[in-house]
């Protein structure tokens, strides 16, 4: 294995540990399509340098990996920009707001920042977990602005159901993406969390490419259709501010 290939394998293995924090060498090899022997050898090497921790044959992220993540997480520019904006949204609407970032090469997304209201009925959002783009308003707000080929791939490679156990309906997805482009926002009902409403608006970078989305997660019993326009307006203004702060042109 050449040096570049070895580095690529190590990076992919570190990334896998962040997504699957408790797995053995065989499970890791199956997920990556690698031989078990070489996968186990690389995991042991990561453990030697404390990027992984081995317990009873299973591997999890090590303290050195946590140390690096901890130092970098507070320096993430999107989080720094979004934190006061999400806090303002949550104070205004008393709902959980969140910032989602697109991982375009993987056709995935993750929630980088969230703000929760004081209301006892609120959602605690898991951060930095990779999720497919086809389920949920946050993902569909992004997917609608990708190329037809990327949309086809995202639909074709989705193997997960929604929280209600429903399989993906490609026709429903495409209709929803068309509506998102037309209306400027995405809306979902009980895709990732039971009895919840998701609303999201995309934001864009300097080249006009979609970068992420800002959204709300709202308990279904509390949502009223007459609220929608105000919620979308709040998200749209926040998305505009984020876009401008990361260098997008005013007419992005």
The 10s digit of each residue's pLDDT in 55-108 is: 889 999 988 888 887 776 555 677 778 899 999 999 999 999 999 999 998 899
Average pLDDT across the chain, whole number: 90
Note the pLDDT tens digit of each residue in 151-177: 999 999 998 899 999 999 999 999 999
Prediction pTM value: 0.72
State how far the Cα of 117 lies from the Cα of 125, in Å rounded to an integer. 12
Residue 32: Cβ-neighbour burial (10 angstroms; 0-12, 13-18, 19+): middle
Contact 186, 199 (CB under 8 A): yes
How far apart, in Å, do the first and last CA atoms of the chain sit?
A: 44
The CA–CA distances, whole Å, from 215 to 73, 130, 190 equal 21, 16, 15
Q: What percent of the chain has pLDDT over 70?
A: 94
Calculate the alpha carbon distances from 16 to 8, 33, 63, 133 in Å: 12, 12, 16, 19
- The DSSP bridge partners found for residue 60 are 53
Dihedral class, residue 74 (left if φ above 0, else alpha if ψ from -120 to 50, else beta): alpha
Length of the chain: 252
Largest CA distance in the chain: 60
Q: Which domains does the chain have, with CATH numbers?
A: 3-69 (1.10.10.10), 74-245 (3.30.450.40)
Residue 241 in this model has a pLDDT that exceeds 50: yes
pLDDT tens sequence across 120-146: 766 777 888 889 999 999 999 999 999
Average pLDDT over residues 19-44: 92
Question: Does the pLDDT of residue 252 top 50, yes or no?
Answer: no
């Amino acid at each position: 294995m050449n040096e570049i290939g070895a580095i690529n394998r190590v990076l992919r293995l570190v990334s896998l540990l962040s997504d699957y924090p408790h797995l053995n060498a065989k499970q890791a090899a199956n997920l990556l399509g690698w031989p078990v022997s070489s996968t186990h050898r690389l995991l042991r090497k990561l453990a030697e340098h404390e990027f992984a921790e081995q317990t009873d044959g299973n591997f999890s992220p090590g303290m050195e990996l946590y140390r690096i993540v901890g130092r970098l997480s507070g320096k993430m520019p999107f989080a720094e920009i979004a934190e006061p904006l999400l806090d303002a949204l949550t104070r205004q609407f008393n709902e959980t707001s969140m910032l989602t970032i697109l991982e375009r090469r993987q056709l995935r997304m993750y929630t980088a920042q969230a703000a929760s209201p004081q209301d006892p009925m609120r959602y605690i959002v898991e951060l930095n977990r990779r999720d497919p783009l086809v389920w949920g308003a946050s993902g569909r707000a992004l997917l609608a602005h990708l190329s037809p080929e990327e949309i086809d791939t995202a639909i074709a490679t989705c193997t997960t159901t929604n929280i209600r156990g429903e399989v993906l309906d490609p026709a429903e997805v495409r209709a929803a993406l068309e509506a998102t482009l037309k209306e400027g926002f995405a809306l979902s009902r009980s895709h990732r969390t039971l009895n919840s409403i998701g609303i999201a608006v995309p934001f864009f970078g300097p080249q006009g490419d979609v970068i992420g989305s800002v959204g709300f997660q709202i308990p279904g019993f509390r949502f009223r259709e007459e609220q929608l326009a105000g919620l979308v307006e709040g998200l749209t203004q926040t998305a505009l501010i984020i876009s401008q702060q990361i260098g997008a042109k005013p007419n992005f």
